[in-house]
Amino acid sequence: MFELEEKVYFYVLLALPIMVIAFLMLSIWRKKRQKQFAEHHLLQRLTPENSRFKKIFKLLLWSLAIICFSIGLVNPKFGTKLETVKREGVDIVFAVDVSKSMLAEDIAPNRIDKSKQLVTQIINNLASDRIGIIAYAGQAYPQLPITTDYASAKMFLQNMNTDMLSSQGTAISDAIEMATTYFNDEEQTNRILVIITDGEDHSENAVSAATLAAEKGIRIFTIGVGKTSGGPIPLKRNGIIESYKKDRSGETVITKLNETVLTEIAVKANGFYLNGSNTQQVVDQIKEELLAMDKKEFETKQYTEFDHQFQWFLGFGLLFLCIDVLVSEKKTKWIKKLNLFNE
């Protein structure tokens, strides 16, 4: 097995046709100038040591050197060792509330950014667990299927915002129902759903959905983001607050953290509720809970250990340049006697 690390350096090979064209143009120009000076048979007698083959040979050496340097920069790596890696962990799905109420700034910088910080820190403390992400507001939307690619998960997470779903509201029940479709491994005994929200549930079916999820072996951890005293929902333009969201009567809407609903959801699904104001406490609590769970081997992969081979090609490239320096453009005496090229 092998792989090429920096394929972009293959563009160095474009120097080859440029060099050949330059060589041909120089040769044509030189012949024209020589014809102006003397006839061909006279030039051969005047310059008996001149070798056409040596010029072509030196061009070949330069071409080989460029090819070797190009491959060396690309850095081919050949596999030398196979290792079997066993991954054990649990399946965790994060359901992140992206409704407009998450724009409230009663917790810094605001609820949605705080939610993303919490999920990011939890992911940073995972070992080999599989994770998935769901975004929800008035309805749930699958953001990332179950995966072990934490980098992709954090990238998708950072792109989440309150404008990504057109239907507004907070349907926690939809998020729970969608999460049940994420756990496709029947042998996985530990299935975790982490809901990050302010607890404003407009569907009123979240508790019954949590009960059904518990029957399928899914534990739910709820994380409340915001303050129970609540805060207004700012309406911004270019990062500047222009006004606050108002209801039909013209009163400013105050959105509050509903810890009661979140606690009830967690209890129904054999989980627990955490207040998200202290990120480190949330991360430590979830990490401690995950460590206590039984892990399942859900993936076995073979990884190839690669050795870098660039040094060989750079070495050959330097060798061809050294040969070019040592080879004279004049005819070699013993080759001249053989007259192999009818020179």
| pLDDT score for 299 | 60
The length of the chain, given as a count of residues: 343
Q: What is the pTM of this model?
A: 0.64
- The residue with greater pLDDT, 238 or 192, is 192
pLDDT of the residue at 34: 64
Q: Tell me: the pLDDT tens digits for 238-251?
A: 878 888 888 888 89
pLDDT at position 157, please? 92
What is the C-alpha radius of gyration for the chain, rounded to an integer number of angstroms? 35
Share of the chain above pLDDT 90, in %: 41
pLDDT at 28 over 80: yes
**DSSP state for residue 49 in the 8-state scheme:** T
Task: Give the sheet arrangement for strand 130-136, strand by strand.
Answer: 140-147, 130-136, 91-97, 191-197, 218-224, 273-275
Is-contact 171 139, C-beta < 8 A?
Answer: yes
Model pLDDT, residue 46: 53
> For position 277, what pLDDT does the model report?
92
Query: Cβ contacts of residue 307 below 8 Å, gap of 6+?
Result: 77, 78, 80
Instruction: Reduce the DSSP state of residue 3 to 3 states and report it.
Output: strand
Residue 341 pLDDT: 47
- Structure confidence by residue, pLDDT tens digits, 76-98: 887 666 666 677 788 899 999 99
What's the pLDDT score for residue 175? 92
Q: Residues near 44 by Cβ (< 8 Å), separated by ≥ 6?
A: 50
pLDDT for the residue numbered 300: 57
Bridge partner residues of 219 (DSSP): 192
Could you tell me if 233 and 255 are in contact, meaning their C-beta atoms sit under 8 angstroms apart? yes
- pLDDT at position 342 over 70: no
Distance between CA atoms of residues 131 and 143, nearest Å:
11
CATH architecture entry for 86-300: 3-Layer(aba) Sandwich (3.40)
pLDDT number for residue 41: 59
According to the model, what pLDDT value does residue 135 have? 94
Does 192 or 332 have the greater pLDDT score? 192
Residue 171 binned pLDDT confidence (cut-offs 50, 70, 90): confident
Report the distance separating Cα 173 and Cα 210, nearest Å: 8
Mean pLDDT of 185-204: 80
Cα 231–203–100 angle (5° rounding)?
A: 35
- Quick check: 107 pLDDT over 90? yes
Question: Residue 331 pLDDT > 90, yes or no?
Answer: no
Question: Which comes out higher in pLDDT, residue 139 or 328?
Answer: 139
DSSP annotation string for 177-236: HHHHHH---TT---EEEEEEE----SSS-HHHHHHHHHHTTEEEEEEE-S-TT-EE-EEE
Q: Give the chain's mean pLDDT.
A: 84
Distance CA 47, CA 45 (A): 6
Q: Is the pLDDT of residue 275 over 90?
A: yes
* Residue range 128-151: mean pLDDT, rounded: 90
Confidence label for 205 from pLDDT (cuts 50, 70 and 90): confident
Band of pLDDT at residue 44, cut at 50, 70 and 90: low
Q: d(Cα 172, Cα 206) in Å, to the nearest integer?
A: 6
Tokens for 264, please give them.
């009830």
30-41 per-position pLDDT tens digit: 777 766 665 655
- Show me where the domains of the chain are located: 2-75+309-338, 86-300
Residue 228 amino acid letter:
T
What value does the mean pLDDT take over residues 47-54? Answer: 64
* pLDDT the model gives residue 5: 80
Whether pLDDT at 237 is above 60 = yes
Least Cα distance to 182 among 91, 120, 297 occurs for 91
